[in-house]
Amino acid sequence: MEAVVIHYRQGRHHVNPHQMVLKVADTVEDAQKVIGKTASWTSPAGKIISGKISALHGRKGSVRVIFADKGLPGQALGQKVKIQ
């Protein structure tokens, strides 16, 4: 399964680079099925950065992903992520 990186999770004053928002599905019911799975992004150099899907984000099929050691770089915005 694949998802698209929408944006960093952010507040009014801070951007959290370790948490990203992914567009997984069109409905909330389909997005709930992927909670707890692993999302991995491959850089152009071949390095794989993976994180865990933690919760829903909104009511339109988006989820939050937490990357433990490193966050995704800005070049990952709009690119595809594999969900396993």
Task: Per-residue pLDDT tens, the chain, 84 aa: give them.
Answer: 999 999 999 999 998 889 999 999 999 999 999 999 999 999 999 999 999 999 999 999 999 999 988 889 999 999 999 999
| Cα four-point dihedral sign 50, 35, 83, 78 | negative
Confidence (pTM): 0.88
> What's the confidence (pLDDT) of residue 68?
83
Length of the chain: 84
Per-residue burial over 7-38, b if 16 or more Cβ lie within 10 Å, else e, is ebbeeeeeeeeebbbbbbbeeeeebeebeeee
| Cα four-point dihedral sign 49, 18, 78, 25 | positive
> What's the confidence (pLDDT) of residue 22?
96
> What's the confidence (pLDDT) of residue 64?
96
Map out the domains of the chain with their CATH numbers: 2-83 (2.40.10.190)
